[in-house]
């Protein structure tokens, strides 16, 4: 891996944008942050439905009332444990704390282990993650700009992107699922049946909702509603950091967009890598069908 440039920070093999990360923030996340039993973590590899889950958790905890989701930015409602703003801010969050993270399990707060905190891990078809990350890299000035999509597929396949290898991330977290208070969700099942997915989350959290509250969650967490919501569509971020004229943050919001981007050869090469990497995982995902 190349040496970190002025815009990035290298921490234990992970190269991250220095805009919101530092060695101190990553060390604090891993070693300083104290997990509490009532904490609720949403963990994702980037572009797998992070913002969506931030919206869902906010709305579930607001009983479907969109007031909070429409008045406070998503990154303050469900802040990232690894970012520079976390220390101090997270200490004073109301209970249960709703916390986001993109960290691979090996760099996650060590105090998670032995706690009763809940972890919701959302996973998405890696080919769609790759496409989504490609457009994000184009519009975000703090990320390396790929020459073309083919080159980006190679970088993604080799794990030379934000938060490292998708395979290592997913396999690492899934390997812990029997040892943690853990819910596995897929982007694809959320897309196919959002209401059912919200019910699964509510059951996992021990927070049943009345039908009307459930309606409120589903309505306000739709792609269209989130695209309109300035508190989660990233339009609050200045254009010199995220240029949504190049590509909107909430871009397409569908499974299967990879089909219009991967060539047959790229797709076959990725499938071979996927088989090789995922053969022992023992879970069938919607995209495996």
Which residues are near ligand A3P by CB under 6 A? 44, 46-52, 128, 132, 135, 191, 221-223, 226, 250-253, 257
**Cβ neighbours of residue 287 closer than 8 Å, sequence gap 6 or more:** 125, 127, 188, 255
**Between 49 and 146, whose beta carbon lies closer to ligand A3P?**
49
For residue 285, which of 153, 184, 199 has the smallest C-alpha distance?
184
**Between 31 and 241, whose beta carbon lies closer to ligand A3P?**
241
**To the nearest whole angstrom, how small is the minimum distance from the Cβ of residue 138 to ligand A3P?**
11
**To the nearest whole angstrom, how small is the minimum distance from the Cβ of residue 96 to ligand A3P?**
21
State both tokens at 160: 């030379």
**Between 87 and 184, whose beta carbon lies closer to ligand A3P?**
184
**To the nearest whole angstrom, how small is the minimum distance from the Cβ of residue 78 to ligand A3P?**
11
Return the exposure string of 191-226: e unless at least 16 CB atoms fall within 10 Å of the residue's CB, then b: beebeebbbbbbebbeeebeeebbebbbebbeeebb
**To the nearest whole angstrom, how small is the minimum distance from the Cβ of residue 48 to ligand A3P?**
5
Active site annotation includes 61:
no
31 CB-contact burial (10 Å; exposed 0-12 / middle 13-18 / buried 19+) = exposed
Q: What SS3 state is found at 62? A: coil
**To the nearest whole angstrom, how small is the minimum distance from the Cβ of residue 82 to ligand A3P?**
14
Q: Which of 7, 21, 61, 102 is catalytic?
A: 102
Length of the chain: 289
* Contact between residue 29 and residue 180 where contact means Cβ atoms under 8 Å apart: no
* Contact between residue 144 and residue 287 where contact means Cβ atoms under 8 Å apart: no
What spatial distance separates the first Cα and last Cα of the chain, rounded to whole Å?
A: 35
For residue 157, which of 132, 127, 114, 177 has the smallest C-alpha distance?
127
Q: Cα–Cα distance between 191 and 138 in angstroms, integer?
A: 25
Tell me the catalytic residues. 102
């Amino acid at each position: 891996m190349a040496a970190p440039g002025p815009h990035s920070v290298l921490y234990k093999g992970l190269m991250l944008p220095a805009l919101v990360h530092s060695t101190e923030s990553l060390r604090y996340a891993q070693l300083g942050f104290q997990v509490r039993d009532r904490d609720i973590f949403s963990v994702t590899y980037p572009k797998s439905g992070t913002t969506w889950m931030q919206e869902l958790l906010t709305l579930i905890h607001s009983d479907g009332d969109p007031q909070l989701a429409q008045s406070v930015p998503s990154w303050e409602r469900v802040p990232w444990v690894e970012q520079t703003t976390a220390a101090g801010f997270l200490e004073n969050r109301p209970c249960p704390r709703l916390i986001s993270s993109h960290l691979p399990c090996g760099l996650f707060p060590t105090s998670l282990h032995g706690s009763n905190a809940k972890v919701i891990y959302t996973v998405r078809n890696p080919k769609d993650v790759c496409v989504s990350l490609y457009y994000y890299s184009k519009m975000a000035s703090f990320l390396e700009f790929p020459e073309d999509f083919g080159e980006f597929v190679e970088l993604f396949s080799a794990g030379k992107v934000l938060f490292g290898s998708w395979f290592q991330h997913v396999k690492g977290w899934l390997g812990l699922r029997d040892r943690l208070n853990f819910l596995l969700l897929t982007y694809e099942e959320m897309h196919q049946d959002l209401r059912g997915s919200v019910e699964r989350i509510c059951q996992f959290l021990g927070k049943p909702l009345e039908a009307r509250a459930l309606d409120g969650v589903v309505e306000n967490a739709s792609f269209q509603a989130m695209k309109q919501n300035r508190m989660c569509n990233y339009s609050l971020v200045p254009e010199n950091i995220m240029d949504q004229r190049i590509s909107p943050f909430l871009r397409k919001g569908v499974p299967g967009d990879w089909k219009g981007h991967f060539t047959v050869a790229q797709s076959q090469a990725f499938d071979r890598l996927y088989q090789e990497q995922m053969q022992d995982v023992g879970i069938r995902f919607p995209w495996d069908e």
